[in-house]
Amino acid sequence: MASREAAKPQLPDPSPSRRPRWGAALFGFYLVLVVASLAIAAITRPLTDHGFVYELGRSFALVGLSLLALQFVVTARLHWSEQGVGLDMVYRFHRVAAGLAAVLILCHPMLLVAGGARPELLYGFGLPWNIWLGRAALVLLMIQVGMSVWRPQLHVGFEQWRLLHNQATLIFGIAFAHAYVTGDDFGEAAMRGLWWGMVVVAATAYAYHRLALPWALARSPYRVAKVKQETHNVWTIEMEPPPGRKRFDFQPGQFHFLHFRRGRGLPAEEHHFTIASSPTHPFLASTIKEVGDFTATIGETRPGDAVAVRGPYGRFSYTYRPAEKDIVFIAGGIGITPIMSMLRHMRDTKSDCAALLLFANRTEGDIAFRRELEEIAAGGHPRLRVVHILSEPGEGWSGETGYVDKDKLSRYIAEGRERRMYYVCGPAPMMKLVMAALGDLAVPRDRIEFERFVL
């Protein structure tokens, strides 16, 4: 294992002033690509024999297909595409764009019929093969969107859902073939050039994301150096980079994707986990809770196991707000991990920040890093105060009980609450309660950072 006394890696410059503008520029370019086909159609075919509703149906198809093509770029986890907002926001945007594409494509045939096309387009059987291609693409797209929206209710496992989700290439291929053969607009050279360019970009992004990079990472994996049990169902996995290579730089609070290849009949799956270690150390660590089929086996991980590591991602870090010196951390359960990375970094860099940590758990036995938090608070860097809150306290517990609600927040952040920075991470119900309480307490929204990453 690499010595922890090795030279401390340097943090990459977060450049907070430039990245929001970069995100806005990328979004503007995205919008241009989405409507580019409409602009070309308007320029090359300014006159039409069809009415407004029919043309609206054609336009819906072009925009919907553009959205589908760009999904391969949006979801490719390209670092330059997530720098402005964070990968969690990129994936939320992906879900919105996918839903919009589905609605537009679903409305496409209905508007064509409403605008004068034969009604048999919707229900007839004796139709050309290219029309059946469009129908197949529409049905498959609706199934995929439905499975994504109602996956918990349908009790579909993550790996099964991801396998189905990867059929997006088939859906786009069928939809593109239908549009290319059927649409009059594709007879124009400019339109063909635009669309073949978008197909090449989409295919390249997909090949990089799903094939080339995973292959490269699997050839030179990290190795598990240490496995430590934090609580009865929480484990910390420390990983060292391949021999002769330095681990990647990251900001405290960021996350990465881990693809464990442990053998012994254990599942080999990729999942995202927060980086719990400090950037000042040469190793990587993630603290993982047993909450699902895959993570239930995390305690069976052994030193020497191979891990393909892909990262870092996210903007949930106090380093993006270097001028802020009065910070409130609010964590629930395993949501403590990005905050531990930040606190460890503050400790290692002798930060003079004042920090309050409100840490919610179910029972006293669920509190991870309790002793280390006490040590950080005693060390004075940062000037840390820790408040534990238990929803199911046992006998002898004298601390706070219940939830991180408006009453507790009003007591602990009574002074200067509007000038502090807030970092919130935890289960969705807790985050919803905390965000509402902070709003009721008139904490400005731009003073609150949170990360809610769900695939």
- pLDDT value of position 85: 81
Q: Residue 401: how many CA atoms within 13 Å on its side-chain side?
A: 7
DSSP strands (E only) in 139-249: 222-231, 234-240
Beta-strand ranges (E) seen in 262-322 are: 270-274, 284-289, 306-313
Q: 202: left (phi > 0), else alpha (psi -120 to 50), else beta?
A: alpha
Q: What is the C-alpha separation between 118 and 124, in angstroms, rounded?
A: 9
CA 297 to CA 387: how far, in whole Å? 31
Helices and strands (H and E) in the chain: how many: 15, 12
Provide the pLDDT for residue 133.
94
Give 16's DSSP letter: T
Rounded to whole angstroms, the Cα distance separating 32 from 198 reads: 13
The span from the first CA to the last CA of the chain, in angstroms, equals 33
pLDDT digits (tens), the chain, 455 positions: 333 333 444 454 454 444 567 778 888 999 999 999 999 988 887 777 788 999 999 999 999 999 999 999 999 999 888 877 888 889 989 999 999 999 999 999 999 999 999 999 999 999 999 999 999 999 999 999 998 889 888 888 777 888 888 889 999 999 999 999 998 888 889 999 999 999 999 999 999 999 999 999 999 999 999 999 999 999 999 999 999 899 999 999 999 999 999 999 998 889 999 999 999 999 999 999 998 889 999 999 999 999 999 999 999 999 999 999 999 999 999 999 999 999 999 999 999 999 999 999 999 999 999 999 999 999 999 999 999 999 999 898 999 999 999 999 999 998 888 999 999 999 999 999 999 999 999 999 999 998 775 55
Contact 292, 158 (CB under 8 A): yes
Please give the pLDDT value at position 19: 58
Q: Cα-atom radius of gyration of the chain, to the nearest Å?
A: 25
Is the peptide bond prior to 382 cis by the omega test (within 30 degrees of 0)?
A: yes
pLDDT of residue 104: 97
Q: What is the pLDDT of residue 338?
A: 96
Enumerate domains of the chain plus CATH numbers.
Answer: 19-216 (1.20.120), 220-313 (2.40.30.10), 320-450 (3.40.50.80)
* Other beta carbons less than 10 A from residue 381's beta carbon: 16
| pTM for this prediction | 0.87
In this structure, are residues 306 and 241 in contact, taking their beta carbons and an 8 Å threshold?
Answer: no
Q: Alpha carbon 321 to chain centroid distance?
A: 21
* CA 300 remoteness from chain centre: 27
Q: Distance (Å, rounded) from C-alpha 223 to C-alpha 152?
A: 33
Query: What does the pLDDT read at residue 5?
Result: 39
User: pLDDT of 93-114, one tens digit each?
Assistant: 999 999 999 999 999 999 999 9
Answer whether 369's CB lies under 8 Å from 339's CB. Answer: no
